[in-house]
């Protein structure tokens, strides 16, 4: 998939970071969500590459990026570490300042990237999330039932890892197929890629650590930002699916306005997996928000 893009691999602190890049224009970093890979962008990246220099990467623990061992404080899978991965990838491509388009877990990485390295992020478009701390603090029964994996994956090892690793493909299909549209929106080759990567040794441990970090050290970092009165000051746009859970369970714009100065956003006619369910609408939003114009 995405054969028109060039593959890259680099290392940061011993962790392999894999992805693809291509296009022309202003630099734009794309970050995927769970339980997926950079292949989530297969319907939008070729169009974005007409006006952007697109860099897609697999988050650590996902795709063909590395899967570092767990540590007691979940530091290695903190969004702060993942943000440093993203920064390293963009700098390796020669970009010190860039736009960010990110979905789901990748959007949480993007939030930390913008908070810790505001000089690097020119503007940011986040898909189908509210701030992590706010989502935990405002959890309802409806949210917990829909996002059951949030609470399953953070349980102490080794049970979650063992259950995921026993049938990784089934786990992927259960999470992704449990949304309003089922597995219908996903191209067979994309779904096969997600299942392939979920079966790579160490993935079950890595995704559990990603979520354990979100429920522990990532919340500490968020609370520190709030206590210090720090808010994002770059333009932020947030989009969510009209048929998704996030918009039903949370006041998305109000929660983001507690964390950022300049926030706009709204719904798209889809569910959670915006890049695969509403690619044309997303591309139009990206062109508009990032002020992209065709390149000669």
pLDDT at 295 over 70: no
pLDDT band, very low/low/confident/very high, at 177 (cuts 50, 70, 90):
very high
User: How crowded is residue 290: how many other Cβ atoms within 10 Å of its Cβ?
Assistant: 24
Task: Label the pairing between strands 15-23 and 6-12.
Answer: antiparallel
pLDDT digits (tens, 9 = 90+) for 19-44: 999 999 999 999 999 999 999 999 99
- Residues designated as active site: 104, 272
CB 114 within 8 A of CB 90: no
Tokens of 255: 């929660």
pLDDT digits (tens, 9 = 90+) for 179-210: 999 999 999 999 999 999 999 999 999 999 99
pLDDT band, very low/low/confident/very high, at 292 (cuts 50, 70, 90):
low
pLDDT at 99 over 60: yes
Is residue 134 in some structural domain? yes
Q: Is the peptide bond before 80 cis (omega within 30 degrees of 0)?
A: no
Q: Three-state DSSP class for 262?
A: coil
pLDDT digits (tens, 9 = 90+) for 40-86: 999 999 999 999 999 999 999 999 999 999 999 999 999 999 999 99
pLDDT at 96: 98
pLDDT at 296 over 60: no
Among residues 91, 85, 75, 80, the alpha carbon closest in space to that of 27 is found at 91
Is residue 294 in some structural domain? no
pLDDT at 294 over 60: no
User: For the chain, what is the radius of gyration of the CA atoms?
Assistant: 17
Cβ partners under 8 Å of residue 241, min gap 6:
128, 247, 267, 268, 270, 271, 272, 273, 274, 277, 278
pLDDT at 157: 97
Alpha carbon distance 118, 140 (integer Å)? 32
Helices 159-166 + 203-214 axis angle, to 10: 140
pLDDT digits (tens, 9 = 90+) for 248-290: 999 999 999 999 999 999 999 999 999 999 999 999 999 999 9
Residue span of the structural domain in which 166 resides? 6-289
Q: List the beta bridge partners of residue 7.
A: 20
Is residue 66 in some structural domain? yes
Which domain CATH number covers 236? Answer: 3.40.50.1820
Is residue 178 in some structural domain? yes
Is residue 150 in some structural domain? yes
pLDDT at 92 over 90: yes
Is residue 155 in some structural domain? yes
pLDDT at 1: 85
Is residue 295 in some structural domain? no
Dump the DSSP string for 100-124.
EEEETHHHHHHHHHHHH-TTTEEEE
What phi-psi label fits residue 74: left (phi over 0), alpha (psi between -120 and 50 degrees) or beta? left
pLDDT at 220: 98
Sheet strands side by side (includes 263-268): 6-12, 15-23, 52-57, 26-31, 98-103, 121-127, 236-241, 263-268
CB 215 within 8 A of CB 74: no
pLDDT, averaged across the chain = 97
Split into its structural domains, the chain has a count of 1
Is residue 165 in some structural domain? yes
């Amino acid at each position: 998939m995405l054969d028109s893009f060039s593959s890259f691999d680099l290392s940061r602190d011993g962790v392999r970071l894999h992805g693809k890049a291509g296009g022309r224009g202003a630099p734009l970093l794309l970050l995927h969500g769970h339980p997926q890979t950079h292949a989530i962008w297969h319907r939008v990246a070729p169009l974005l590459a007409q006006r952007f220099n697109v860099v897609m990467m697999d988050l650590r623990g996902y795709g063909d990026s590395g899967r570092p061992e767990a540590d007691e404080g979940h530091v290695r899978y903190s969004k702060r570490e993942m943000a440093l991965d993203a920064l390293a990838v963009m700098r390796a491509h020669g970009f010190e300042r860039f736009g960010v388009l990110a979905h789901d877990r990748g959007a949480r990485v993007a939030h930390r990237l913008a908070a810790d390295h505001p000089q690097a992020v020119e503007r940011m478009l986040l898909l189908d999330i509210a701030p992590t701390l706010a989502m935990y603090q405002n959890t309802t029964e409806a949210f917990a039932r829909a996002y059951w994996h949030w609470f399953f994956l953070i349980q102490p090892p080794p049970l979650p890892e063992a259950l995921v690793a026993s049938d990784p493909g089934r786990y992927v299909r259960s999470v992704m197929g449990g949304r309003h549209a089922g597995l219908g929106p996903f191209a067979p080759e994309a779904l096969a890629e997600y299942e392939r990567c979920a079966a790579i040794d160490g993935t079950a441990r890595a995704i559990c650590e990603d979520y354990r970090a979100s429920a522990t050290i990532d919340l500490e970092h968020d609370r520190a930002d709030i206590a210090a009165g720090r808010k994002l000051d770059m333009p932020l746009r947030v989009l969510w699916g009209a048929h998704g859970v996030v918009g039903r369970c949370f006041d998305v714009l109000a929660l983001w306005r507690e964390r950022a100065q300049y926030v706009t956003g709204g719904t798209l006619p889809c569910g959670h997996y915006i890049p695969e369910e509403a690619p044309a609408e997303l591309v139009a939003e990206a062109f508009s928000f990032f002020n992209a114009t065709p390149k000669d």
